[in-house]
Structure 1
Amino acid sequence: MRDFNVNVSHLPDRMVVALQGELDVDTCPHVARATDPLALRNSALTLDMTDVSFMDSSSLTMLMHLRKRSHTEGFLLELAGLQEQGRRVLELTGTLPLFRMRPPELPSPRKEA
């Protein structure tokens, strides 16, 4: 199996789930195991997809499941760092407009010494 990592961060204003690797039929269950237990009502979930190098149709199914859950449970779902290949999957299936895209985070300003 290829390397795939899921990292969950609890920030004051949202949960961030950073994904790394190929998002496919073998790896989508890892995302579900990480996101299913999260209590998200009245909060936000950001999927950081900056390091996702590939998406297939099973990843679209997983994203649509998260979208449905966000409407049912009342939380905001955002995608961040969506790469060109993943964006193309969403465009070709007509689902891109269904997802809110989070702009890239700006680096914190460095303090002058």
Structure 2
Amino acid sequence: MRALFDVTVTEHPYRAVVAVSGELDVGTCPFVTEATDALSLRGQTLILELSGATFMDSTGLAMLLQLRERARHEDGRLEVCGIDEPVKRVLERTGAFPLFTTVPSL
């Protein structure tokens, strides 16, 4: 049985918070991409809140890297917060962890 998945967007002045719960994989990452694509990152901070993420595969990693590049290209900022073991493990094993600005929680 597949875990429940949810993505929630909350916009504030100068920042948006995208909270993800469930598995980040080939079946769910398109929903996160759709949600983030709808946001302007120009001069904004995008906070990707992942404390509810229960799993992340290479598709999730690719999505994070693409989002990081998009934020850089649009003069925005990406912060990843609430990184628990499932996500941290992938970021550390691939050497990608230092590429992201991380904060413990909101």
Q: TM-score, normalised by structure 1?
A: 0.88
**Paired residue for 2:90?**
89
Runs of 4+ in 1 over 2 A off after TM superposition: none
Question: How far does residue 101 in structure 1 lie from its aligned partner after superposition?
Answer: 0.4
Which residue in 2 is equivalent to 1:78?
A: 79
- Which residue matches 2:101? 100
Instruction: Indicate conservation of the 8 Å contact 2:44/2:76, yes or no.
Output: yes
| 3-state SS of 1:32 partner | helix
- 5+ residue gaps, structure 2, are none
Deviation at 1:40, TM superposition (A): 1.4
CA deviation profile, 1:52-99 (whole Å, cap 9, x unmatched): 011001000000100110111111100010111211100110000000
- Which residue is equivalent to 2:68? 67
RMSD: 1.1
Q: Distance in 2 between matches of 1:47 and 1:25?
A: 18
> 2:7 aligns to what?
6
The number of equivalent residue pairs is 105
For structure 1, list consecutive stretches of 5 or more residues without a partner in the other structure. 106-113
* Percentage identity across paired residues of the two chains: 48
Q: Helix, strand or coil for the counterpart of 1:62?
A: helix
Aligned counterparts of 1:55 and 1:65: Cα–Cα separation in 2 = 15
